[in-house]
Structure 1
């Protein structure tokens, strides 16, 4: 048998289906600029010339459960989203006029969550993590002093729960790790806390295909993937974060009935504004608060679109 057959065929001749929207957020390249992000996209790959492009022309997100009397508004909103995603000019500020608050950056999201958690009724419960250097570091006495538990406790890393986690019954939370994908416990799944125990948290899924399912979330040993950290450490903590608010990137793929978009600073990468505004089915489902450089409300904001990513479509 000739084992060389298929070696020069992409994926060995298998049919592979890629899905996605170039109007939305492109691949994340740490510390990458515009050109690096565009180059990391599928349409810049050597495989792109061998792909067959199929276009989905009907916005199913907007039409599901809508009456025929809303067709005109739906079509207008869909066209506006397309124009926004492609960076076309628009002057209609009326559009800037299941619930979540979205913001471009983590620091703003954390401020909103802390404020709303303090206002939320109920008794707080505090969970502290156990942090230590990984054994792969072979830490000596000097490293143990330099990276003491107090130093590790103070580290705040994207995708990792904080050392101090404050929760209340009824608060919405988001998973930061895949726990049980078959049962809907995936990264970015939203849940609502039902009970708080010493070693587990009982919660109900409120997003995805397993809405209404009760589950228990344990503490896990979590190791950050951020390459900026010059040493490996692990944090034993519940893999969750409070999510009254979330970043626009985290909201990608979710369908919400109400969205509040808080733009204290403008969006900073391709597709963010398009993703935020397309989380809802109609323009009535989104409210925006936009601040200018002086911190005053305004009805204008910047949009970021790398139009060169559409050149090969």
Structure 2
């Protein structure tokens, strides 16, 4: 930019205005094997650029729909306030016998859980996907609901059980895996990391080696393919044809809803992983969408959300992200297990309050 104005040479971003959008209540940058201090240090508030930033506050929850009466609007305001209090860590922990405070734990409001109902997979599916056998091909029905959970292992198991409820045979698409950027010879690579070992790796943010699909299954795109057609990371689609080398999918949410696209295999690599080699997996960038991890749900708007917590959330903002995905409080149902596996109304809410230190106080009023 110094060709425009020599004084811009020493200005950040060449003197251009840059807009940074985000919510510090949501999940912070993911640092592999990092502790709390590492995660907070990776935030923009710890950058040298933060001192020259001007903060503008967005105060209206645009995701929540307007009620049809004054009483409904009042309930929506209370729910929005509760969501913000969760994100700010301002919900007081419960007391036991009026003496002991349970650190980082909160009581779930009675309207969002049923302790009398066992947290089985069938109960969660019936709650989040009622009349699934009749509505499983409805694009509107499928686009507005999902089951959220904190770990990939639980997500994969739950998605497999839901797909098994579909009629017809599943089609398996196997990936072609390879290892690159290895320091040794090819012979050492083949002996230390055979193809069978590479196939067994389940890396976060990548499709599995054996991707089982059926016609009518809802999937989510895991990579940006064509932004002009809204084929971006997070686009929700439904499988319409299972062909030999690719699948045909129909977009069920967004601007290009109803458009169909062929999704081929493509080479994918994890962005950040501690391995002595670079894993290259040639597979369709698709993930079954009925159940998804909380981190991947950021940016989604859903009418019905079932939160399944066999174990509590483990990092800043996960609980806040989940309860803030719904467009109405009536669409939120929470299933929480205690250490013995029984249903409970206690869960953990992790908030790193030090990330808010450099933010305006008006954000928490």
Q: Could you say which residue in structure 2 is the equivalent of 1:177?
A: 223
The alignment covers a number of residue pairs equal to 312
Match runs of 1:104-253 below 5 Å: 104-134=150-180, 139-253=185-299
Aligned-partner SS, 2:164:
helix
Cα contact 1:133–1:139 (8 A) shared by 2: no
User: Partner residue of 2:68?
Assistant: 67
Give the C-alpha shift of residue 299 in structure 1.
0.8
Q: Which runs of 5+ in 2 are unaligned?
A: 93-106, 114-143, 360-365
Asked if the contact 1:96–1:299 (Cα under 8 Å) also holds between the matched residues in 2, the reply is: no
Contact kept, 8 Å, 2:182 with 2:276, in 1: the verdict is no
CA contact (8 A) 1:200 1:218 kept: yes
Alpha-carbon distance in 2 for matches of 1:119, 1:225: 34
Is the contact between residue 27 and residue 318 of structure 2 (CA under 8 Å) also seen in structure 1?
Answer: yes
Distance 1:191 1:80 in 2: 32
1:21 equivalent in structure 2: 23
Q: Partner residue of 1:96?
A: 112
How far apart, CA to CA, are the structure 2 residues paired with 1:179 and 1:66?
Answer: 37
Choose the corresponding residue for 1:58, options 46, 60, 63.
60
Q: Deviations over 1:149-197 (max 9, x none)?
A: 2222112111121111111111111112111122111112221111100
Taking structure 1 as the reference length, what is the TM-score of the superposition? 0.93
Q: C-alpha distance in 1, partners of 2:243/2:183?
A: 33
Give the root-mean-square deviation of aligned CA atoms.
1.9
Structure 1: which 5+ residue stretches go unaligned? none
Q: CA deviation at 1:139?
A: 4.5
How far apart are the structure 1 equivalents of 2:231 and 2:288?
16
TM-score, normalised relative to structure 2 = 0.81
Q: Encode CA deviations 1:76-122: one digit per residue, 9 max, x unaligned.
A: 11101110100112556224320100001111111111111122222
Following TM superposition, the consecutive aligned residue runs of length 4 or more in structure 1 with deviations greater than 6 angstroms are 135-138
Secondary structure of 2:162 counterpart: helix
In 2, Cα distance between the equivalents of 1:217 and 1:88? 45
Shift in Å, 1:209: 2.9
- Between stretches 181-190 and 266-275, larger displacement belongs to 181-190
Q: Is the Cα contact below 8 Å between 1:183 and 1:210 reproduced in 2?
A: yes
Supply the distance in 1 between the matched residues of 2:82 and 2:61 (Cα, whole angstroms): 12
- CA distance change for structure 1 residues 95 and 56 in 2, over 3 Å: closer, same or farther? farther
Q: Which deviates more, 47-56 or 144-153?
A: 144-153
Map 1:269-280; keep pairs closer than 5 Å. Answer: 269-280=315-326
Is the contact made by 1:93 and 1:300 (CA closer than 8 Å) also made in structure 2? no
Q: Deviations over 1:215-248 (max 9, x none)?
A: 1101112223343121123222111121210000
The aligned counterpart of 2:47 is 45
Deviates more, 1:72-81 or 1:131-140: 131-140
Q: How much has 1:136 moved relative to structure 2?
A: 7.4
